[in-house]
Amino acid sequence: MKKILNILIFTLVLFLSGGFIISCEDSDESVVKVIKGNSPGAWKELKEALESGPYSEIKIDGIVKAPEGAKQILMRSRYLDIKGKSGANHDMIDANGKCRIFYLEKESILTIDKVTLKGGNADKGGCAYVKGSEFIINSGIVRDNTATDAGGGLYLTDEPREPNVYSMGTLTMNGGIIKSNNASNGGKGVYCHQSTGFQISGSAQVASDNDIQLSYETKIEVLGKLTSIGTVATITPSFYSGGEKILKTSNGVVLNQELADKFDITPKNGVNWHIDGKGKLQQE
C-alpha cells in the first residue's frame, strides 16, 4: 500500500509540473514526455528531452519545427522511443532545412513510430547520422531530407570501442517508408559506411526515388516476411562483382528467387544487374 501511495504522489507531482506522464509496474518504469507541436520552443524542448531528460518515450503532438539557429539533436548512450500521437500525416519533426535532425553515438537506440521526419540538412545523413548505434523504424516516414555529401535520409557508420572492437551503425526497418530524400554523392535514402547493418521486415519500403548505398562489408538482412507490394528497395553496391553476396536472411526466412526479386539493383554503366536466389549479385 505504501509503495502504491508513493507512486500516486510521485505521478501527481510530475503531472502538475506540466512535463510528463509516468507509468510504473513493479520495477519497470516508463516516463513519457509529450511535446506539443506548432508552438514556440518545441524544438528546444524536444532536444533537451532526447539529450538529457529522464524519459523513455517522447510523444509528438503536431509539427515540431526547427527555428533559425537550431542545432541537431545529439544522443549519446541514450535509449528512447519517439511516437506520433495521431500518426505520421499529423505528427512531424521538421528540421526546416536548418540542421540535421539526429546524431546518434555511443550505442544509442532510437525507435520511431507513427511520425514523419523531414527537412533535415547536413553533409552526411540529412535526417540522421548513426554512429555505432541503432535507428529503428517501426512505422512512419523519412522524407525530404538532404545531404550535400552522402546519405540523404540516413548515414550509418561504425564506432570504435576499444582496439579492433567496433560497434556497428544499424538501421532496422520493421515498417515505414524512406522517400524523396536527396544526396550528392550516394545513398539518397541510406548510405552504409564501413561495418554497418541494414535489416528489414514487414511493410518497410525504400521508395524507387531513393536507394541504399552499401559498403563492401554491408549486406541487406531480411528479418521477416516482406509485405510491401512491388519493389521493397533499390540497392547500389559499393562495387559490382558477379557472385558478391549482398542479401541474407535470418529468423527462419527462406532465401530464394522470389524474395530476391523484391530488390532492384542500380544499373552500372548501362549494364543491368540483379540478385539471384542465393542472395548474390549477378550481371544480366
Domain boundaries, the chain: 73-283
Return the pLDDT at 30. Answer: 73
Run of H or E residues at 18? none
Cα–Cα distance for residue pair 216/219, rounded to 1 Å: 8
Residue 230: which residues within 8 A CB-CB, separation 6 or more? none
Q: Is 5 left (phi over 0), alpha (psi -120 to 50) or beta?
A: alpha
Provide the residue type at 131 as one letter: K
Residue 176: which residues within 8 A CB-CB, separation 6 or more? 112, 137, 138, 139, 140, 141, 142, 203, 204, 205
What is the block-wise mean pLDDT of the chain (284 residues), using blocks of 10 residues?
36 40 43 94 97 97 97 98 98 98 98 98 98 98 98 96 88 98 97 95 98 95 96 96 96 98 97 98 96
Return the pLDDT at 29. Answer: 57
